[in-house]
Chains A and B, each alone.
Chain A
């Protein structure tokens, strides 16, 4: 185990030097450079550009670096270099990372709240000033927003031409929305099934954890595998819902602020579900193929499970504020 110093304290393992940080930086810089030039390039596809290639190369490079970074920490742990104190540092690190994610989602939920409770009614003339008679005559606010202020005044030409935005700044509302369809249509409503799937997966994840604490590897592997499967099912359902929205409902990112908030919130959540599923899958493979983890030593799994529960809680809020209310 970790070395003991003469004062009876465990010594803290400080790696001598490491190339991981520089390798990660190279990947990140490629992503920053590649992504921004690639996105800029979307609007002028006729010009040649290698930005897309740099972006993909950066992502691959970064994934490989991350893999060896985690492999290194796992190896160190197995070799017993990690004192209890160092392990606690990892725990603190993960907790605050999740907190930062909470704040990221808070920004988007805050924006949704502001748009629904303040900006929307104001655009339709609520509050002092009655600005809509001058700016957006005829605009009525309702949520989900099916007709944008721009449509209310007769399309892009009816308002000041705007800069150089994607779509030329045209926003036309969707034909249908994805909010609560009424009790009778409940069972055809995908978000409900998504909720069931994700809540169940939080539960199965917990059962796996209990299995691990009992040192019952079979139970652990089984329930963790089920959790990963449920994560995948969620992603598939979400994909189906997006397909339906885009193709049948005419709901897209540019359908005004309802489409904006719908896709950004569910999109970032979906992305986090994919991340969480990958994390859990890695722990599953570590357990099944390498026999990692036991009732004492299970941080990799625990961290992933915290992340998973966090993603689940975000969904509950999404279900409430994006779909139901």
Chain B
């Protein structure tokens, strides 16, 4: 087993090594982040001023759709799977993932699938244009021909996700080092265990949704057609049964990341470890019974509105418990503000803003006003960009020295942070106001009264977007020119197992399991 990596490109094609696969996931997701980001830049350029400027409305719709799909399924989810691959075996003292060949397959499905999906931009009729939520009948009766390709791409991504998750579950359940009981696992591992469960539970439902679409479009079924006795609203139920747990699939590993980072840089153990675990589990449970809060305006019966409203508000309780725990961890700690900590604190703070707007949206009668407005766009970017992508940035800075054995440039990291922070807020904070004043989402043109907010948004977006190039530059420079760290325990306050192996982590680690006390 003392072999190093194979030479040449076949190393990456044939690898079964969790570190190689994690690295590929991370680079792939970064590429998708830039691709999805460039779609966003087109959107913001068009919205810089009222009136139609740069792209025609049909193409604008393709951009919003592809932006959402690429960011959710191509950037955020694979990035967290990449972290899971790299870190879970290291954190639980396992030699590798439980099912290494399947692991490689889960990764390699993704690049060709996204290539196929992106190629639909050049197809006759254009790329999917029905929004990342692909509501029927927009995505069935009125869909462009590329919808078929889209459906099969979603199937392929789903296969990849399900296999990846099964692997993570098997690894955590079966491969913990002796003495690593469940309640000793680092929280990142815990949050991923629960996330993987959510994925196995809801990705098949998404597969069901797109299968119903396929049959409606090509084989004459009437799931989503009232003329045949079906119901377009059924689509929304099936989709959001997947979709709401999906947003927690995105955020739970991010919770895990900040639960690792904040204690290290506060030099205090995490406050309320047990309650963190229970909060994560209750969030996961509740996420299955709140989906119709996305559908308050479709004409649900009153009892339904009330049920989903109260259930949704209930989620704020375990979520708040987490936020309190992070704050209490920092309280009276000896805090230092290196880049990972800056991103982690910003994540907690800005995610809380997103949580608050979520609570506002959860109030059914109020949502009649907010629904499908820029307020919703502001809400979910606070949760997904600040909540998930800030956590991902934090994770990359935090673990990069372990991955590469070299230290990133701290000044550049902090610059990246502050530009991101300012750019992000400048982009999305004004969208709250635009939305409350009535600006609808997914439109290429708008009323003059929204002009100022939109110009701010666009400038912020260009700032945020370009700061990611600095991020990329910093990573590449660390790999090529970074200062070697020369110690296992890179961060003074670190306690988890990955900091007991050399930096960079050798190709094979924990071939004999460590003893955990």
List chain A positions with a Cβ less than 8 A from chain B.
Answer: 5-7, 9, 11-12, 14-22, 24-25, 28-29, 31-33, 35-37, 39-40, 42-43, 69, 85-86, 88-90, 92-93, 96-97, 99-101, 103-104, 106-108, 110-111, 114-115, 118-120, 122-123, 127-129, 135-136, 145, 148-150, 156, 159, 162-167, 169, 171, 252-254, 256-260, 263-264
CA distance A6 to B513 in the complex (A): 10
CA distance A108 to B205 in the complex (A): 8
User: In the complex, which residue of chain B has the Cβ closest to the Cβ of A147?
Assistant: B229
User: In the complex, which residue of chain A has the Cβ closest to the Cβ of B159?
Assistant: A28
In the complex, the answer to whether B16 meets A25 with C-beta atoms within 8 Å is: no
Interface string of B150-192 (1 = CB under 8 A from A): 0111011001001001110111011100100000000000000
Is B352 an interface residue, CB under 8 A from the partner?
no
Interface string of B203-225 (1 = CB under 8 A from A): 11101110110111111111101
Smallest CB separation, B453 vs chain A (Å): 36
Q: Please, which residues of chain A bring their CB within 8 A of the CB of B212?
A: 111, 264
Q: Please, which residues of chain B bring their CB within 8 A of the CB of A123?
A: 226, 229, 231
CA distance A164 to B99 in the complex (A): 44
Tell whether A25 pairs with B205 under 8 Å between CB atoms, given A119-B233, A253-B219, A260-B230: no
In the complex, the answer to whether A129 meets B222 with C-beta atoms within 8 Å is: no
Smallest CB separation, B438 vs chain A (Å): 26
Q: Please, which residues of chain A bring their CB within 8 A of the CB of B226?
A: 119, 123, 135-136, 149
In the complex, the answer to whether A162 meets B166 with C-beta atoms within 8 Å is: no
User: In the complex, which residue of chain B has the Cβ closest to the Cβ of A254?
Assistant: B220
Q: Can you list 23 pairs linking A and B with CB atoms under 8 Å apart?
A: A9-B178, A17-B11, A25-B105, A25-B112, A37-B148, A39-B214, A85-B174, A89-B170, A89-B171, A92-B170, A93-B98, A93-B170, A96-B169, A96-B200, A114-B231, A119-B233, A136-B226, A163-B137, A166-B220, A257-B228, A260-B223, A263-B221, A264-B215
Is B324 an interface residue, CB under 8 A from the partner?
no
CA distance A257 to B220 in the complex (A): 10
Among B50-58, B79-87, B138-146, the stretch that binds chain A is B138-146
Smallest CB separation, B242 vs chain A (Å): 8
Q: Please, which residues of chain A bring their CB within 8 A of the CB of B513?
A: 7, 9
In the complex, the answer to whether B105 meets A21 with C-beta atoms within 8 Å is: yes
Interface string of B105-122 (1 = CB under 8 A from A): 101110011001000000
In the complex, the answer to whether B201 meets A99 with C-beta atoms within 8 Å is: yes
402-435 of chain B: CB within 8 A of chain A: none
Q: Please, which residues of chain A bring their CB within 8 A of the CB of B173?
A: 92
Total A-B Cβ pairs within 8 A: 257
Instruction: Knowing that A14-B508, A36-B149, A111-B238 touch, tell me 8 more A-B residue pairs with CB under 8 angstroms.
Output: A11-B511, A15-B100, A85-B175, A96-B166, A101-B204, A111-B234, A169-B141, A253-B215
In the complex, the answer to whether B225 meets A162 with C-beta atoms within 8 Å is: yes
In the complex, the answer to whether B301 meets A169 with C-beta atoms within 8 Å is: no
In the complex, the answer to whether A12 meets B109 with C-beta atoms within 8 Å is: no
| Main DSSP-derived SS at the A contact region | helix
Interface string of B474-517 (1 = CB under 8 A from A): 00000000000000000000000000000000001001110100
Is B448 an interface residue, CB under 8 A from the partner?
no
Tell whether A103 pairs with B202 under 8 Å between CB atoms, given A97-B166, A149-B228, A253-B221: yes
Q: Which of A11, A115, A150, A163 contacts B142 (CB 8 A)?
A: A163
Q: Please, which residues of chain A bring their CB within 8 A of the CB of B332?
A: none
CA distance A107 to B166 in the complex (A): 20
In the complex, the answer to whether B105 meets A7 with C-beta atoms within 8 Å is: no
Q: Please, which residues of chain B bring their CB within 8 A of the CB of A156?
A: 227
Tell whether A258 pairs with B229 under 8 Å between CB atoms, given A92-B170, A163-B137: yes
In the complex, the answer to whether B202 meets A39 with C-beta atoms within 8 Å is: no
Tell whether A171 pairs with B222 under 8 Å between CB atoms, given A29-B112, A260-B215: yes
CA distance A114 to B171 in the complex (A): 37
In the complex, the answer to whether A114 meets B237 with C-beta atoms within 8 Å is: yes
Is B15 an interface residue, CB under 8 A from the partner?
yes
Q: Please, which residues of chain B bring their CB within 8 A of the CB of A252?
A: 220
In the complex, the answer to whether B104 meets A21 with C-beta atoms within 8 Å is: yes
User: In the complex, which residue of chain B has the Cβ closest to the Cβ of A14?
Assistant: B96
In the complex, the answer to whether B229 meets A11 with C-beta atoms within 8 Å is: no
Q: Please, which residues of chain B bring their CB within 8 A of the CB of A127?
A: 301
CA distance A13 to B216 in the complex (A): 46
Q: Which of A7, A18, A29, A159 contacts B14 (CB 8 A)?
A: A18
Q: Which of B104, B203, B204 contacts A18 (CB 8 A)?
A: B104
Tell whether A169 pairs with B227 under 8 Å between CB atoms, given A35-B152, A103-B202: yes
CA distance A122 to B241 in the complex (A): 21
In the complex, the answer to whether A107 meets B218 with C-beta atoms within 8 Å is: no
CA distance A100 to B225 in the complex (A): 27
Tell whether A17 pairs with B225 under 8 Å between CB atoms, given A32-B116, A36-B152, A166-B217: no
Q: Which of B16, B202, B203 contacts A16 (CB 8 A)?
A: B16
In the complex, the answer to whether A7 meets B515 with C-beta atoms within 8 Å is: yes
Smallest CB separation, B179 vs chain A (Å): 12
Smallest CB separation, A166 vs chain B (Å): 4
User: In the complex, which residue of chain A has the Cβ closest to the Cβ of B138?
Assistant: A163
Smallest CB separation, B405 vs chain A (Å): 22
Q: Please, which residues of chain A bring their CB within 8 A of the CB of B14?
A: 17-19, 21-22
CA distance A73 to B431 in the complex (A): 54
CA distance A17 to B12 in the complex (A): 9
6 tightest A-B contacts by CB? Answer: A107-B208, A254-B220, A171-B228, A163-B141, A257-B229, A21-B105
CA distance A110 to B292 in the complex (A): 14
Tell whether A11 pairs with B95 under 8 Å between CB atoms, given A92-B173, A100-B200, A171-B222: yes
Smallest CB separation, A19 vs chain B (Å): 5
Interface string of B348-360 (1 = CB under 8 A from A): 0000000000000
Smallest CB separation, A139 vs chain B (Å): 9
CA distance A89 to B175 in the complex (A): 9
User: In the complex, which residue of chain B has the Cβ closest to the Cβ of A89?
Assistant: B98
CA distance A263 to B219 in the complex (A): 11
User: In the complex, which residue of chain A has the Cβ closest to the Cβ of B238?
Assistant: A107
